Structure 1
Amino acid sequence: MLIRYKKTLEKIAMGLLSFMPNEKDVKKLTETIHSYENDDNWVLYLWKKNDEYVGIVGLVVDEHNIATIQHVSVIPSYRGEGVATEMLQEVAEIGQYESVRATDETRSFVQKCIHCIDEKADD
């Protein structure tokens, strides 16, 4: 189940985001969380399964309501169970965005998980 990020989930979100290769540095991770908290165009969802937060997906939504997937991460013990696919499908199906696409960084992973992602990266 997708849960919209809120400040009370900050430590959990930071832990999940830290699995992303470019989010290992604490300063960078703090800046990323700050962007999700303060920029209306940055949207962060956590994935809850069996009362445990096991994944995260972060989007940047442009003026045309196109969501670009910036971050996708699943805790190691849940990898290979389809969690990322479920998260991305739910993001695409909630009907909140005109379309959903990936960045150059997230594209190869996203394409493995879901087929409805626009192949064009955000430039």
Structure 2
Amino acid sequence: MKFKPAQRKIAMGLLSYTPDEKQIKILLETVQKYETESSWELFLWKEKEDIVGVIGFVNEDENTVRLQHLCVNPSYRGEGLGKRMVEEMQERLQKNIVPSETVKGFFDACRPEEIQST
């Protein structure tokens, strides 16, 4: 589901699992970008009634998005959620997904085989 400002605390909690987002000031700046910049899009992943993941993109051009954030609650890791999130967003966005340096390792480990990392 698409992120809404009312879900700010949930999004911040999930984004805080990103190594570069540990400091509150940086985390607040990141969430503000998702709230105010039209090229930044954040989506929350729900399993049953729990929001357990977050995936964020920056639109590079009409055919490409940069995967900026991909975070899964530690309690749900190892269940293939990262891969499912990437697959779902690939289908939904219909764009080439390229990972940022921050998520490249995780992206390469969980990406569907048909998505090529550049």
* TM-score, scaled relative to structure 2: 0.93
- 1:44 match: 42
- 2:31 match: 33
75, 78, 90: which one aligns with 1:80: 78
Aligned partner of 1:105: which letter? T
CA contact (8 A) 1:102 1:110 kept: yes
Aligned partner of 1:41: which letter? S
Could you tell me which runs of 5 or more consecutive residues in structure 1 were left unpaired when the two chains were aligned: none
Once the two structures are TM-superposed, the CA of residue 7 in structure 1 deviates from its matched residue by 0.6
9, 12, 15: which one aligns with 1:11: 9
Quote the Cα distance in structure 2 between the aligned partners of 1:22 and 1:116: 28
CA contact (8 A) 1:16 1:74 kept: yes
Q: Does 1:105 align with 2:102?
A: yes
> Once superposed, what is the RMSD of the aligned Cα atoms?
1.1
Quote the Cα distance in structure 1 between the aligned partners of 2:41 and 2:114: 19
Corresponding residue pairs, total:
117
Quote the Cα distance in structure 2 between the aligned partners of 1:38 and 1:98: 22
Q: Which moved more, 1:110-119 or 1:26-35?
A: 110-119
* TM-score, scaled relative to structure 1: 0.90
Which aligned runs of 4 or more in structure 1 are off by greater than 4 angstroms? none
Aligned partner of 1:87: which letter? M
Q: Using the aligned pairs only, state the percent identity.
A: 38
Could you tell me which runs of 5 or more consecutive residues in structure 2 were left unpaired when the two chains were aligned: none
Q: Does 1:118 align with 2:116?
A: yes
Once the two structures are TM-superposed, the CA of residue 17 in structure 1 deviates from its matched residue by 0.2
Secondary structure at 1:4 match in 2: coil
Aligned partner of 1:110: which letter? F
Secondary structure at 1:22 match in 2: helix
